[in-house]
Structures are given as C-alpha cells and as structure tokens.
Amino acid sequence: MSDLIGRWVMSGGEEVRVAEFREDGTMSYLIELGGREIAMELRYRVEGEQIVTDRGITSHFRLQNDVLTMEHEGETFTFRRT
C-alpha cells in the first residue's frame, strides 16, 4: 500500500482526474469534466491487486515506476505521480 501513497493525476482531453492516497487509509478522488467537478472522500484498502473503497467501489490496479493504471467497469485510467 505504501507505494500508492501520494497524489496521482490523469488528464486527457476535457477530463482531469486526481487521486490522493493517504497513509491513514483515506483518499480523495476528484473528477473534472466539461466544467463540472465531482469530489469524493473515501476510505480504502488494498487487497492483492485491487483497491477497495468503503463505498463498494473496486478497481484493479498496477504500479510501474511513477505510473498508476486503474481499471474500473471496463475502463482504463492512467495516472502519473505528481
């Protein structure tokens, strides 16, 4: 889990996503799209190669250097550590 700790940003086209994982098991997730913003505060845990949140959201993830790839409901999101 410690490799996840930090701020990760994905940007492409009109969409920006920011995930910030904290050591205490909390995270912020922000989506900016078309002038709208959705912000969530979540608790998370890592189970193998899955990130599981307290809201029932589960995403498969891979870490390679400063790149975090998350797969959720058939979509793939690639973040870079900032």
Given pLDDT bands bounded at 50, 70 and 90, which one contains residue 4? very high
Stretch 46-50: mean pLDDT: 96
Structural domains of the chain sorted by starting position, each given as residue range(s) with its CATH number in brackets: 2-81 (2.40.128.50)
pLDDT for residue 13: 78
Q: Could you give the CA distance from residue 82 to residue 22 in angstroms, rounded to a whole number?
A: 14
Global pTM reads 0.90
Percent residues over pLDDT 70 in the chain: 99
Tokens of 80: 């870079």
Q: Which amino acid is at 61?
A: F
